[in-house]
Amino acid sequence: MARKEQTYYINKEATEAEPRHFEAVNGKPIVAMDGIETFIYWNEQARTWVVTEVRTGSMIATASTTQKKAIEQAREFIEFAGKENMIDLIEQMVAKYGEAPKASVDNSVLTPSVKGL
């Protein structure tokens, strides 16, 4: 059964032109590693598949070839960094920047206000 596409939020770093913020993208949930919630989306501008962590909206890996390759690269990165280290980093980022908004499958935002927005 194919997973349904839904709205997720990616973390956009601050620039001189705009502050740090979350941006909505359409993606599909994936399992890159048990215990770390992730999704994949197509970044049209960069022409790459991007695997992103859900709670922080932070990118884990990219691939310009296939979704499968991006997922493989995300798994390799998490294994290299260490699953526990990744979970600790996620908790630190949530504490510092707040958690990314959540959206339902019908794309309606469930948590409209987020620290830092």
Taking a C-beta distance cutoff of 8 angstroms, is the pair 97, 55 a contact?
no
The answer to whether residue 72 sits within a structural domain is: yes
Give CA–CA dist 96/115, Å, rounded.
9
Confidence band for 82, pLDDT divided at 50, 70 and 90: very high
The answer to whether residue 32 sits within a structural domain is: yes
The answer to whether residue 16 sits within a structural domain is: yes
Helix then strand then coil, in percent of the chain rounded to 5, is 25, 35, 40
pTM (2 d.p.): 0.81
The answer to whether residue 111 sits within a structural domain is: no
The answer to whether residue 102 sits within a structural domain is: no
- Determine the average pLDDT of the residues in 85-106: 84
**Residue 24 above 60 pLDDT?**
yes
Q: What is the pLDDT of residues 38-80, one digit of tens each?
A: 999 999 999 999 999 999 999 999 999 999 999 999 999 999 9
The answer to whether residue 117 sits within a structural domain is: no
Contacts of residue 19, defined as CB under 8 A and 6 or more positions apart, other chains included, come to: 116
Containing domain of residue 64, as a range?
6-97
The answer to whether residue 90 sits within a structural domain is: yes
How many domains does one find in the chain?
Answer: 1
The answer to whether residue 107 sits within a structural domain is: no
Q: Output the pLDDT for position 115.
A: 34
